[in-house]
């Protein structure tokens, strides 16, 4: 009668907390199963052999084979010379358009640049998606390392400045709904360990108007972030200034807080006028 549920049992295992997604309920049929496969391959640390995928997706061999063939055919996956599966460059191509014309990002960009100029440190823009933050943009200073590696990246909301800031813009009920049942991974000794920890922090963030990340996600990295929210609650995001702990001292964080809040406010103002209210 009921076919087995896709996704759930399959994808999550690898690295704890991916998929804070809120897509319980609706099924997307064939597409959902294929996306679960893409996720599986894309999230893996190495190219996957057919058998690896077979063991982690509970599809029968024949079915899986056809599914993968279709994905390869469409360029969403590729095979290396050993026949192992990798994410395909078609994804890159689709993403570049998604990025270049993202309205929110476009509107925010000048403010990110200003904030970068004011602080001299790296500025991030990220949107909340479920309980993860996806970085939409990044403006770096002089010592530019690699850019792309961060854009499009998903990180847990509970241990990043942008993520916590965005969460703080939710009302209590929505917040509770999102974070309850969250798995906390101890990235550093400062990472929040429980929902209670997180909620306490978020109360402080609300009072203060900005979030701090003092080496919660990565040792030696600190940031200040402020929440961005559209009036209709459609956009839930954050902007942050990030840098190495030795440069970004607690005093600096305090000093930058107003600037970051101002940037967030300016972005919200621009959203209001440029993107307009719901028509």
Partner DNA sequence: AAATTCAGTTCCAAATAATGGAACAACATG
Partner DNA sequence: CATGTTGTTCCATTATTTGGAACTGAATTT
- Are 239 and 108 in contact by the 8 Å Cβ rule? The answer is yes
Binding mask 194-233 for its own copies (x = CB under 8 A): --------------------------------------x-
Burial class (CB in 10 A: 0-12, 13-18, 19+), 54: middle
Segment near its own copies (CB under 8 A); pick from 28-36, 57-65, 156-164, 257-265: 28-36
Which CB atom, from 152 or from 209, has the smaller least distance to its own copies?
Answer: 152
Spatial CA neighbour of 68 closest among 47, 92, 93 = 47
Which CB atom, from 140 or from 215, has the smaller least distance to its own copies?
Answer: 140
Spatial CA neighbour of 17 closest among 170, 193, 155, 216 = 155
Burial class (CB in 10 A: 0-12, 13-18, 19+), 89: exposed
- Are 148 and 266 in contact by the 8 Å Cβ rule? The answer is no
Instruction: Rule CB under 8 A: say whether 189 interacts with its own copies.
Output: no
- Are 212 and 229 in contact by the 8 Å Cβ rule? The answer is no
Spatial CA neighbour of 198 closest among 169, 227, 167, 170 = 167
Which CB atom, from 4 or from 97, has the smaller least distance to DNA?
Answer: 4
Strands, sheet with 211-214, edge to edge from the N-terminal-most edge strand: 154-156, 132-139, 122-129, 236-244, 221-229, 211-214
What does 60 interact with, of DNA, its own copies, none (CB < 5 to 8 A by kind)?
A: DNA
Interface residue with its own copies among 136, 170, 179, 268 (CB under 8 A) is 136
Instruction: Rule CB under 8 A: say whether 24 interacts with its own copies.
Output: no
Instruction: Rule CB under 8 A: say whether 148 interacts with its own copies.
Output: yes
Distance between start and end Cα atoms, the chain: 43
Token pair listed for 138: 């990044």
Interface residue with DNA among 60, 181, 276, 277 (CB under 7 A) is 60
Interface residue with its own copies among 2, 26, 143, 251 (CB under 8 A) is 26
Segment near its own copies (CB under 8 A); pick from 143-151, 194-202, 220-228, 255-263: 143-151
Cβ 135 to DNA shortest distance, Å: 29
Residues forming the site for its own copies (CB under 8 A):
3, 6, 21, 23, 26-32, 34-35, 38-39, 42-43, 45, 70-71, 73-76, 80-82, 86-89, 91-103, 127, 129, 134, 136, 144, 147-154, 232, 234, 275-279
């Amino acid at each position: 009668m009921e076919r087995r549920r896709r996704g759930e049992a399959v994808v999550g295992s690898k690295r704890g907390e991916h998929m804070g997604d809120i897509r319980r309920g609706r099924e997307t049929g064939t597409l959902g199963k294929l996306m679960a496969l893409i996720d599986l391959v894309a999230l893996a640390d190495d190219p996957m052999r057919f058998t690896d995928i077979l063991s982690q997706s509970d599809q029968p061999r024949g079915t899986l084979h056809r599914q993968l063939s279709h994905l390869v055919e469409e360029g969403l996956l590729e095979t290396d010379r050993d026949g192992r599966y990798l994410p395909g460059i078609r994804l890159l191509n689709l993403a570049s358009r998604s990025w270049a014309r993202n309205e929110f990002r476009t509107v925010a960009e000048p403010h990110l640049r200003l904030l970068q100029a004011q602080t001299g440190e790296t500025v991030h823009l990220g949107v909340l998606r479920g309980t993860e933050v996806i970085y939409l943009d990044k403006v770096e200073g002089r010592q530019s390392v690699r850019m792309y590696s961060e854009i499009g990246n998903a990180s847990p909301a509970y241990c990043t400045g942008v993520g916590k800031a965005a969460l703080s813009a939710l009302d209590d009920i929505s917040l509770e709904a999102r974070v309850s049942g969250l798995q906390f991974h101890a990235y550093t000794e400062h990472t929040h360990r429980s929902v209670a920890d997180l909620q306490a922090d978020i109360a402080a963030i609300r009072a203060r108007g900005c979030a701090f990340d003092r080496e919660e996600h990565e040792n030696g990295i600190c940031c200040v972030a402020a929440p961005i929210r559209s009036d209709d609650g459609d956009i839930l995001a954050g902007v942050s200034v990030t840098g190495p702990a030795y440069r970004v001292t607690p005093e600096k964080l305090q000093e930058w807080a107003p600037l970051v809040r101002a940037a967030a406010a300016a972005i919200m103002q621009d959203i209001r006028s440029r993107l307009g209210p719901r028509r």
